[in-house]
Structure 1
């Protein structure tokens, strides 16, 4: 159980902004404004929220009906996956943690015969509605229901932050890939996970929860891949343009921490400038 207080997040933003000022990115007036804003915010009567952390199956079952709503991450992972898929001859592709079948459809559109695997029954139901004739299977990332050396391309998007260790998962990816096969991974950047950008859901009883997430650093992905015998081909850490936040109050809990930036927009802008939003990898088996 976590206790999420709006001021705890906002003061963290103020601290990050002040650290950047300390190293010369902002001037004296900016520092004075931040300190004055902190003093003012200390009198804010905002209340915190008790938030459970739930396992990915429960969380994504709850999220499945609305998962395909607009998400800025989709602007980066889909083009990246499509670019790799389009550069390969049609073969067998595995969409690991396929969710609603968003990437499964993209891979099929490039001529690949696709297998989709996910641990969430709710997500798989959405995927089957999207692609009734596709081969969808329930399974876990560290124990894929797929034969060894049977696929040419593995994709895994927005899922690895939810596994506690990357080693067993990358070993599975390497196991199912044929020699020369490709692996494409797209994930929320560890800097964003560390800043609390974790999926929010409501449990069956209406109480707030977040899908349990782990902060895997850039080197963690690389070490796991090398240990599995995979060779990196490219890595990108794109910066997504910040979403406009409404000024004033913290907004509904579901919009946290995004909406909390409205309590201190100048600090939020300074704290987030240039911070990557995604991490994208391509590996060769």
Structure 2
């Protein structure tokens, strides 16, 4: 199958090759060195590692994997039972301090958790005294949210067609969901529709640089076939254009990132083994730890605080 052609359902397939991913990490690391972030010894190590990767038969001779573009519903159905388990999704630790800071500064009111998942933010909103409505497209996630937040009203719906009345909300929260919608304008327009004038919108999303480096959730096919949840890279400009056109004003934007690790990265393994696709790209990153650290020195999330204007849209 030619992965560049649509499949029989009109969806394009993705071709993933382990060597291509590893060389991509090395390339990003070398570009940082080109800009002056690292010294000549770092560059020499990268070039030597590239030669080693190219000479490794398990990598160079790998056939790669053709991956279907799955759908979010399948992915969320597969994650629902373990979504809140330990260890937590690392992006939760990145977005919650800023999101909580925004939410906690606002008075209690009518709050919508859009794409509420299992109720992570609905629970926080209820704890702050808000009357909470949660909307999600996944029945499995909603079932868990209802158990987690018994006082909330949880509805099945999509981000671009929210089952919520015009001007009925004081606050809309949406966390780590917009990277799964292809365009932001319809969603931002819906957020503006359901908010009262002067209402607030708090958004966290996977940073576009994170998606670029392969942080895309898996959504396996019915027989366990490789599949990915559709994930899109929305830049700062994309958010601003969509928000401003919907009548929002920017109140805050943060790109939180963890502290730099002062310890040296571990040495690469003596034997390079590819492993199965189900562990990619995470298991591949372990093969080139120094390049990975350099390439992944990016924010994990972007957090926005918008306010809906008082004028007519």
* TM-score bucket (shorter structure): over 0.9
In the alignment, structure 2 segments of 5+ residues that lack a partner are: 1-12, 309-313
Match of 2:10 in 1: none
Deviation by residue 1:36-82 (Cα, 9 ceiling, x = unmatched): 11111112214333322112112211221111231111113223232
Within the alignment, does 1:263 sit opposite 2:290 as a pair?
no
Q: What do residues 154-187 of structure 1 show as CA deviations (whole Å, max 9, x unaligned)? A: 0000000011110010010001001111000000
CA displacement, residues 108-159 of structure 1 (integer Å, 9 cap, x when unaligned): 0000000000011111122122223420001110110000110000000000
Q: CA deviation at 1:259?
A: 2.6
1:272 and 2:284 equivalent? no
Q: CA RMSD in A?
A: 1.9
Q: Does 1:12 align with 2:36?
A: no
**Which secondary structure state, in structure 2, belongs to the residue aligned with residue 200 of structure 1?**
coil
d(CA) in 1 for partners of 2:219, 2:35: 38
Q: Would the alpha carbon gap of residues 128 and 246 (structure 1) be closer, same or farther in structure 2, given more than 3 Å must change? A: farther
- 68, 76, 79: which one aligns with 1:63: 79
Q: CA deviation at 1:85?
A: 2.2
Q: Alignment partner for residue 3 of structure 1, among 3, 6, 15? A: 15
Deviations 1:10-35 (A, max 9, x none): 10011111112222222222222211
User: TM-score, normalising length from structure 1?
Assistant: 0.93
Alignment of 1:42-121 (within 5 A): 42-44=54-56, 45-46=58-59, 47=62, 48-69=64-85, 70-121=88-139
Report the structure number with the largest CA radius of gyration: 2
Instruction: Return the alpha-carbon distance in structure 1 between the equivalents of residues 219 and 18 of structure 2.
Output: 18
Q: Aligned equivalents of 2:266 and 2:124: distance in 1?
A: 31
Query: For 1:62-211, what aligned pairs fall within 5 Å after superposition?
Result: 62-69=78-85, 70-211=88-229
Q: Compared with structure 1, are the counterparts of its residues 175 and 79 closer, same or farther at alpha carbon in structure 2 (3 Å cutoff)?
A: same
DSSP 3-state at the match of 1:136: strand
Q: Shift of residue 245 of structure 1?
A: 8.3
Q: Quick one: distance in 2 between partners of 1:66 and 1:58?
A: 14
For the 8 Å contact 2:165–2:194, the answer to whether it is kept is yes
